[in-house]
Chains A and B, each alone.
Chain A
Amino acid sequence: MDTTHGANRIGNGHEEPHGHTEALPHHKVPYFLIFGVLVVLTIVTVAVAFLDIHNEIVKVLLALTIASIKASAVALFFMHLKFEGKLIYLILIVPLLLCILLVCALIPDIVHGTPFNPVTPLPGVTGHS
């Protein structure tokens, strides 16, 4: 074994231990196309914000759906998740499930304050003159 393995080099020194070049696996990904999709979806996100939706749940779900599509585009293509093995998917699925579990577990802690009125009476004052 070469005892000066990596001792004089700046990098990790393990790139070519036996002197042969291996092409690192790289997949053909249409980066610019995905970038275009992301920009379009960002414009869609902003446009949807101008729609006057009064139902809070619908607003949140719509925003989260568009954000999830953008996130999937980044994760599957930019992060090469589409070409990864089962282990990486397992590492990802666990926190995603735990996220949903966390938010659901916090639901009993939602505290509805007094009806929104920034003019709150001082203690002892009835609020009517």
Chain B
Amino acid sequence: MSETILDHGYIPEEHAPDPVIGHGDPTMPGKIGIWLFLASEIMFFIGILGTYIILRSGAPEMFASHAKVLNKTAAGINTLVLILSSLTVALAVDAAQRGLRTRTAAMLGITLACAVTFLGIKYIEYSDKLGTLSGHSMGHQTLVHTEGKQSFVYDGHVHVAHKPGVGGKGGEEIDPDRIELKGYRIPAPEIGLNLHAISEHDIKERSGQKEEETWTLDKKGIGTAVRYGPQKNNFFACYYATTGVHALHVIGGLIPMSILCIQALRGKLLPYHVEYTGLYWHFVDLVWIFLFPLLYLI
């Protein structure tokens, strides 16, 4: 009775082995499948990254100036966290192949913890620019504010303002008519200013300020305000596209890893599945290894 693909994962040869060509161990179909998937994912990411490279070539100074606004420390920590998670998932694959169930579960657990840490730091980075979910921080904005005859261009982080409390200091009650901005400002020039193209770095240089200052601004005086979201300019559009899609891939990788970790804890070790999930996770780390210098450091 000939064996089917369900028995070993591949169909064994039924004729005599070739005396000349050494075939070696056949590659598992699952491994070929995951590598084919990773090949398509490479094309997926190069679509976005290629766009970034081309757009950057068209406006290199603007891109370089805006890259300085990003939090390099957070991204550096994220890089080390992902590299650590790559190590632990490789150790999990090794343990699974040796049949060590508890060690596999432990290593997968540490990988999951690293993934969640990565997503947490990513949230801190995003909320710094876009504002928190509670609305207390309104993120990073470039805005023009006019008070009487004076107009200034501000660039900094916007928070809710508080009504003055007892003794003149800031109170508890939120002032709905004003906002607080901590950053830099320059007098608004008389001709049109492209708020999308100017970065906090540019305004800081032109303002001559040594450090950030805080102003309380009346909302009615605010003219144009541009948030540091994907609408700010091409750099930020590329930044959110690449890091957002990468974060989605991290979340996607969490799902099979959690399932395998739980299965290992319940007594079922699946070494092939752990290996293929590990390959996907290494790919996610690889993408970040390229994203980190290309977005944050150059």
A residues with a Cβ closer than 8 A to B are 1, 5, 9-12, 14, 17-18, 24-26, 29, 31-32, 34-35, 38-39, 42, 45-46, 48-49, 56, 59-60, 63-64, 66-67, 70-71, 74-75, 78-79, 84-85, 87-88, 91-92, 94-96, 98-99, 102-103, 106-107, 109-113, 116, 118-122, 125, 127, 129
Contacts and interface: CB of A to CB of B under 8 A. Distances in A.
A64 B294 CA distance: 8
A43 to B, nearest CB: 9
B293 A67 contact: yes
B62 A116 contact: yes
A118 B83 contact: no
B180 interface: no
Contact of B297 (A49, A56, A88, A107): A49
Nearest to B26: A85
A106 to B, nearest CB: 5
B31 A88 contact: yes
Contacts of A129: 190
29 contacts: A12-B272, A17-B6, A18-B7, A34-B87, A39-B80, A42-B76, A42-B79, A56-B60, A60-B53, A71-B286, A71-B289, A78-B86, A78-B282, A87-B27, A88-B27, A88-B35, A91-B36, A91-B39, A94-B39, A95-B46, A102-B46, A106-B50, A106-B51, A106-B53, A109-B54, A111-B58, A113-B59, A119-B189, A119-B192
A88 B7 CA distance: 23
Contacts of B83: 35, 38-39, 42
Contact of B7 (A17, A38, A116): A17
B289 A70 contact: yes
A9 B272 CA distance: 16
Contact of A60 (B59, B282, B298): B298
Q: Which of A25, A49, A107 has the most CB of B within 10 A?
A: A49
A98 B50 CA distance: 11
B214 to A, nearest CB: 24
User: Is the contact region of chain B dominated by helix, strand, or loop, or is it mixed?
Assistant: helix
B170 interface: no
Among A32, A46, A66, which residue has the most Cβ atoms of chain B within 10 A? A46
Nearest to B192: A122
Most central of A11, A35, A95, A99 by chain B CB within 10 Å: A95
Contacts of A74: 86, 282, 285-286, 289
Interface of A is mostly: helix
Given A110-B54, A110-B58, A102 B47 contact: yes
A114 to B, nearest CB: 10
B194 interface: yes
Contacts of B18: none
Contact of A5 (B6, B39, B62, B268): B6
A63 B298 contact: yes
B94 to A, nearest CB: 6
Interface string B1-29: 10000111100000000000000110100
B54 A63 contact: no
A91 B32 contact: yes
A29 B263 CA distance: 26
B121 interface: no
A98 B298 contact: no
B6 A11 contact: no
Nearest to A35: B87
Contact of B90 (A10, A31, A84, A125): A31
Nearest to A127: B191
Interface string B188-212: 0111111001100010000000000
